[in-house]
Structure 1
Amino acid sequence: MVISGLQVGTGTFDTMEADVDVSDTLRHFTGEAFTSGFDKGGGGSVIRTTALGHGSGREMIDLSQHNPKTLDELVHGCHEAKTAATLLACGLAYYQLHGIDLVSYHGDSAGAPAILYRFAPTGAEEPQWHSQFLDIERLRDSPLGAMVRKQVLPVYWYDVVREARLTRSETLYMEGLLRRHPNGGISLKVHGPGGDSAVVGLGFAAKQARLSPSALYKLLCAAQIAHLRYCVLAESQSPRNFGLSPREVEVLEWIATGKSNGVIAEILGISPHTVDTIVRRIFSKLDVNDRTTAAIRGLGTGLLRRPKDAAP
């Protein structure tokens, strides 16, 4: 999981900006859209999730019983999670309660999507988790992924800047990351079956030089537990095609790598107008309004089992 561009309201991680739209709600791999606000009731913060059903009705999922404060509670919550949306909310609740306000996730496989979540206020509203589907090509300048693959323990972002021998592009990447998130954070590697691994980034809500060994291992374990459960859920998910034609699926695959309509037109040898028309049809069939949600829904429902490589 490597950090890339985040746009929340008017703020942007400008040095790593992705050319994608941002939804006001959090949308994850199941295609379920949900807002993730924190109710400040007597029992502490409680995530309440609004999931959009396939019909016109809305289902409110109260995750108060899956609001893990301890690692044991997180294990139970992950085990009980039947959808990626519930798993995500469970994981974000745990991270937020343990001093994390930024979470990124980037699968290792070629063309795998990268997603970032940030706990931040939106105007006069209470802080919420907001998501950004990231441009994979921007991640090539990050030194974090390569470094955590060589380490057993998480890597501190400030250590990378101080101690690693970075290229110019890597230095600019890290400077941009730490300028936008000066509290720092860690990156770590999680592993799944068949080499299904990912890099996870966790940003600190308050600046600190070092976590205690206990706190560090708890975050490492939490990320690994959630990743393994996600692998199980993804493996058991039956693909759906939503009535998309082969050409529409092909365009959606390129959308999932962060390609713009103009670039997709060049790759496929068709006109930009044709791509625009295909994208509108994809949105209609998937019942979405933006590229980010279309790509995530395609990936999460099994329509896109393996995204295309980001090249060319």
Structure 2
Amino acid sequence: MIGLGVRFLALSSSSYEDARALISLLFRARKFARSMGVTSASYRLVPAYHSQLDKGAQLFHFGFRDTWVSLYDDDYDFRKHDPIADYVIRTGKAMTWQQAIEEQDLTPQQSAFVASMKDNGLIHGWAAPFYGPKGREAYVTYSFGREITAGDAQLLRTLTVKTDIFHNEMVHLADGGEDRIPSLSNREHEVLLWIARGKSNSDIATILDISGSSVDTYVRRVFDKLNVNHRIAAILKGLHLGLVRL
């Protein structure tokens, strides 16, 4: 399945070099995961601010049974009832598969999904949310072929750090350099953050202890760098580029 995903991303990338970098990154990530004792893993890319169960999600994984890969990848009517993916993103915390299942009141379709997981040997696993630039969120799972215990805390922390770096690199490469992030000064970034929080220019002047005319200047610079002409557009562009998070 990794090959299929790479073929899609290669077509989406702006250059041959980006495509090669994507392939290299995917295989390096798999090599590292295996070195940490991971027996199976999954990762996906979805459009900004979309559900992890989006029909157009690009799926990357290794170590799963062929029967599960065929079912999950090829049957969207089945995959859309995955009870773990969006739940982990919504809660914003890492957890075992079992925790995610037990914390919810599952629909009949979701219960059937869980039964299929067990039929395919997917019993013990760890799931975590990752929040990258441009609103690109990712649900990632790892399994070690055994129950996850408190003794795995350091292992999971290491995987979390590495996966966060991996996800940010994936987003950058998959987007092929589109919408280059403008370079804002520290003060311009502060002003954008306060705009996103609904503060007026006079409010921002008070908060930052600078003059109103200085705030006006910073706001104009932010608008110019983001290529927008009003506050709402600046907020939306800032969210899209990962410059602010509400």
TM-score, L = length of structure 2: 0.54
Are the counterparts in 2 of residues 183 and 208 from structure 1 also a CA contact under 8 Å?
A: no
Q: Which has the higher helix share?
A: 2
Question: 2:6 corresponds to which residue?
Answer: 29
Greater share of residues in strand: 1
User: In structure 1, what is the equivalent of residue 143 of structure 2?
Assistant: 203
1:165 match: secondary structure? coil
Deviations 1:164-193 (A, max 9, x none): 321221112122113313451112211222
Equivalents in 2 of 1:112, 1:103: separation in Å? 20
- Residue type of the partner of 1:29? V
Alpha-carbon contact 1:113-1:136 (below 8 Å) kept: no
State the partner residue of 1:83: 21
Q: For residues 142 and 31 of structure 1, what CA distance do their matches in structure 2 show?
A: 23
Give 1:221 shift.
1.9
Q: Distance in 2 between matches of 1:174 and 1:120?
A: 15
Aligned to 1:155: 95
- CA separation in 2, counterparts of 1:226 and 1:160? 24
Alignment partner of 2:147: what SS? coil
1:112 is aligned, of 56, 73, 98, to: 56
Compare CA radii of gyration and give the structure with the larger one. Answer: 2
Task: Report % sequence identity.
Answer: 17
> What per-residue deviation string (whole Å, max 9, x for no partner) do you get for residues 246-281 of structure 1?
xxxxxxxxxxxxxxxxxxxxxxxxxxxxxxxxxxxx
Number of matched pairs: 162
User: Hey, what's the Cα distance between the residues in 1 that align with 2:121 and 2:65?
Assistant: 15
Does the CA contact (< 8 Å) of 1:104 and 1:201 recur in 2?
yes
Report SS of the residue matched to 1:141: coil
> Which structure exhibits the higher relative contact order, with contacts defined as CA atoms closer than 8 Å and separated by 6 or more residues?
1
- On the 8 A contact 1:182/1:207 being kept in 2, the answer is no
Residue 166 of structure 1 aligns with which residue? 106
Root-mean-square deviation over aligned CA pairs: 3.4
Could you tell me which residue of structure 2 aligns to residue 69 of structure 1? none
Whole-angstrom distance in 1 between the partners of 2:64 and 2:116: 18
Change (3 A) 1:157 1:169: same
CA distance in 1, matches of 2:64, 2:88: 27
The 1:149/1:204 distance shift into structure 2, 3 A limit, reads same
Q: Note if contact 1:30-1:85 (Cα within 8 Å) is conserved in structure 2.
A: no
Q: Does 1:101 align with 2:67?
A: no
CA distance in 2, matches of 1:119, 1:91: 13
Runs of 5+ consecutive residues of structure 1 not aligned to the other structure: 1-21, 34-53, 55-80, 123-129, 239-312
State whether residues 88 and 128 of structure 2, in contact with CA within 8 Å, keep that contact through their aligned partners in structure 1.
yes
CA distance, structure 1, for counterparts of residue 65 and residue 101 of structure 2: 29
2:130 corresponds in structure 1 to 190
Describe the shift of the 1:234–1:155 C-alpha distance in structure 2 as closer, same or farther (beyond 3 A): same
2:153: which partner in 1? 213
- Alignment of structure 1 residues 1-312 onto 2, 5 Å: 26-30=3-7, 83-109=21-47, 110-119=54-63, 133-210=73-150, 212-236=152-176
